[in-house]
Amino acid sequence: MAQRIQALPTTGTPTPPARRLIAAGYVRRTPQALDDARPSHAFRFLTEIAHTLSDRRIADQPLTATRWQTATSAAHARTITGLYPHTANNAIATAITTAHSVYDPDVTCGEYALRLRAAARSL
């Protein structure tokens, strides 16, 4: 005993097909919308480095290799650890290239942190 399913009568203007898909749970996502949803790993990595360098205890001191290494390893532990190796390597390479482009040997840690944050916005 087969029953036929009939469509309910609609009133007013018909619903466009895209709205029906969204109502049914099929949401179309474009790659651009997904990219805008969250910051890149390189952005997060650079902002964590900047956060460590802008600590009030060292912000007015010159940027040294030791401070850079400490900030980078802390940022790596917070943002990069746990990612797939290819994703992690790409994020690190992008971040280091961006950080190198704004480097000046005569800056303090705090000033370099500001430069890093400004450069990270372009990622």
Per-residue pLDDT at 38: 78
Structure token pair of residue 110: 């705090």
Per-residue pLDDT at 60: 94
The model carries a pTM of: 0.69
Domain ranges for the chain: 38-120
Higher pLDDT, 29 or 62: 62
Q: What is the pLDDT of residues 3-54, one digit of tens each?
A: 655 555 555 555 555 555 455 555 555 555 555 567 889 999 999 999 999 9
Taking residue 72's Cβ as centre, other Cβ atoms within 10 Å add up to: 20
Check: CB of residue 75 under 8 Å from CB of residue 52.
Answer: yes
pLDDT at 90 over 60: yes
> How far are the Cα atoms of 17, 59, 70, 75 from residue 87, in angstroms, in the given order?
37, 31, 22, 15
Three-class SS state of 112: helix
